[in-house]
Amino acid sequence: MGPMRDSLNAFLDYPQVAVSNAQSGPLAGLGLGVKDIYDVAGYRTGCGNLDAYSQGSPATRSAPAVQVILDAGAHFLGKTQTDEFAFSLMGQNAHFPHPVNSAAPDRVTGGSSSGSAAAVAGGLADIALGSDTGGSIRAPASFCGLIGLRTTHGRISLDGVMPLAPSLDTVGWFARDMNVYEAVAKVMFAPSSHSEQGDSTAPRLFRLAALDELVFGPAEAAEYRRMLGFVTAALGEATTAAPLSQSSDELYWSFRRIQAREAWESRGHWIEEHPGSLDRGVEDRFRFGQTVDDAALAQAREFRGAFREELGALLGEDGYLVLPTVPGAAPLKTEAADSLLAYRERALRLLCLSGLSGFPQITLPLGTIDGAPFGLSLLGPAGSDRQLIALGRRILETKE
């Protein structure tokens, strides 16, 4: 197994290279962890795979998403662990000791941004960059009791970041409190070519019964209702919207086919040239992409377009969908592989809406199940990233 630098198995034990940062700025004094799919000048980008790391060369420049944080005064702490090629949701990379979820040590951190979530939850970093293709910001944030935003697709540059499924990949970050989260957002979103969308003053809130029903059982449902109370107190009651034309299963399979096919196009050549380098479960997810033919991909993309149009019409410019981030608390580390797979598939039915639409979604640490964190989300119109953060602040302040 690869070595780690800390007891939470968050930071990879890479040879240390000096990374410069501004000595003043809005993020001065804050420590930054960076998921090991981002280029950082002087470091190899290992992408969670030992062969990829050993065959790589040090980056000559940092990814823009990293550099803008350094230029705002944050100091680089190190590269954080990721699942192999960012294609997993549990944070259990076979090549490294698994990261520790400080909020619930007997449970997984979630992945693929596992080390970043562990670092922030455990107080080793103030900020940590991750990415979200299928839920790798939102799920770990919910599991570890953090704030996490899946940004509007294309809002933040992915230059210098390993691609998984380009039409779904997004930049995101973790923080423990909203002051830090907002400070990073001001840096990341300025300047922006996207118009700001969504009204954070008097938002229209919606719920979808099919999504509410995806929470696991009576205890989770009761806690979700309690979390909804914080939303109602801060922003008003959410209206139950008419069902979407697409079922949760149809959305899930559209997402899966697009993600898998694009992932195979991104990484399949490397996998074929390096037999045995990947954990079997991860390789199986990649190889599923081989089975998605052009006709199936075209159908899934057409379905995605219709869904995006329908959801966009529901939200308009000031509407926000309220939903559970994931079905419940993080799975226990000791759960069997088939149980983890069942959790993943149910979670993706919630997580895929933001991915398919490209719309932003924020998860907030509002509840607990069996003493472990459980998050609630708001999904807003394209470009409403800042408004989601503002709404999140109002909700968290009501909870306090």
The reply to whether 186 belongs to the active site is no
The reply to whether 35 belongs to the active site is yes
Residue that has been written with the tokens 């409190």 in this structure: 177
Question: Which residue is catalytic, options 62, 88, 102, 112?
Answer: 112
Reading the block at residue 194, the tokens are 């996207």
> Identity (one letter) of the amino acid at 390?
A
Question: Which residue is catalytic, options 62, 114, 116, 136?
Answer: 136
> Identity (one letter) of the amino acid at 377?
S
Question: Which residue is catalytic, options 35, 88, 254, 333?
Answer: 35
The reply to whether 254 belongs to the active site is no
Active site residues: 35, 112, 136
